[in-house]
Amino acid sequence: MGWFGWFGGRSNRGGAADANLDQSTSLPDIAERNPLDVWHFVTCRAFDAITLAPIANPATILDVACGTGLWSREIARLYPLARVVGFDQNLQQIDRALEEGAWRGDDLPPANCHFERVDALAAWPYGDGAFEYTHARFISPFVPVSQFGALLAEMVRVTRPGGWVEIVDAAQFTSHDPARQFLLQCLRQLYERNGLALEPGPTLARLLRQAELQRVHSRSATITTSTTGDDASWRVANDLVAGMLDAAPQYQEMGIASENQLARAAQQIASAAADATFRIELTTAWGRREPPS
């Protein structure tokens, strides 16, 4: 799960948020963390929350396409009486994350959290209304636009009447640096040609309403990353560049950019004397499955 082949406490506030990742904010040591974990930390910091849906002591929670399972483990600690299930098609990724957490001694899975191997794009092995709260984050890299509605319908199906569905994704990537902006445009085109949406955030609330959820709300948060910032800022900015450059063969194969154009962009980025930032807008949207009247 992630844009490039990987790709806080509880709060129920509405509105918009801004987070400069160079600000002094408590974060774990992330120098060697998985990129997915880094995105988890900066997303929670941007929204000042691990979830925005107004859940109150849910008994069952589902984390869809959970990646390394970090969100699953943290929500399980936040609600120790809840049964938390995280699923992903790549259990090896979760196993590696758990091994690394055991080695660090700071991220052991709580007893109320467990993981399963499930393909998010196939039928899910859960009954109707099995969970009180269903969550998904950054699923746009692997869910085609044509299947987004079906996946949301499955999220609604497994959520009990009266429960909540929440989804988080990117809304916009921008950079003031021409070379980075060029690579972002290449990535957008690559996504589009593969039937994906790089920045589906603006559509999330509408999609939840189309899935017949009620009380739909959304909130935006903008984070600014810097190649000369703190560890979190540096990791996000450099992971973005590395991921976009790693996709260069696909840009060339699909006629999106030439080898010379990509080489020139890479050279400009490598030789840039000034700091270059990315501005990343995120959107979270949530809605309630209403009980039958």
Domain layout of the chain by residue ranges: 16-286
Say which DSSP state 10 is in: -
Statement: residue 291 has pLDDT above 80: yes
Output the DSSP codes for 174-208.
EESSHHHHHHHHHHHHHHHHTT--S--GGGHHHHH
- How much is the pTM? 0.87
pLDDT digits (tens, 9 = 90+) for 82-92: 999 999 998 88
The answer to whether 50 and 8 are in contact (CB under 8 A) is: yes
What's the mean pLDDT in 92-113?
Answer: 80
Q: Does domain 16-286 have CATH number 3.50.50.60?
A: no
Question: Residues near 56 by Cβ (< 8 Å), separated by ≥ 6?
Answer: none
pLDDT attached to residue 31: 54
Helix (H) or strand (E) holding 222: strand 214-226
The answer to whether residue 68 scores a pLDDT higher than 60 is yes
- What are the tens digits of pLDDT across the range 149-159? 999 999 999 99
Buried b (16+ CB within 10 A) or exposed e, 215-254: ebbbbbbbbbbbbebbbbbbbbbebbbebbbebbeebeee
pLDDT on residue 30: 55
The token pair at 278 is 């990315």
Q: In the β-sheet with 16-20, what is the strand arrangement from edge to edge?
A: 16-20, 214-226, 277-288, 159-175, 131-137, 60-64, 83-88, 113-117
Q: How confident is the model at residue 5 (pLDDT cuts 50, 70, 90)?
A: very low
Residue with the bigger pLDDT between 277 and 66: it is 66
Percentage of the chain exceeding pLDDT 70: 84
Residue 173's nearest CA partner among 281, 16, 42, 256 is 281
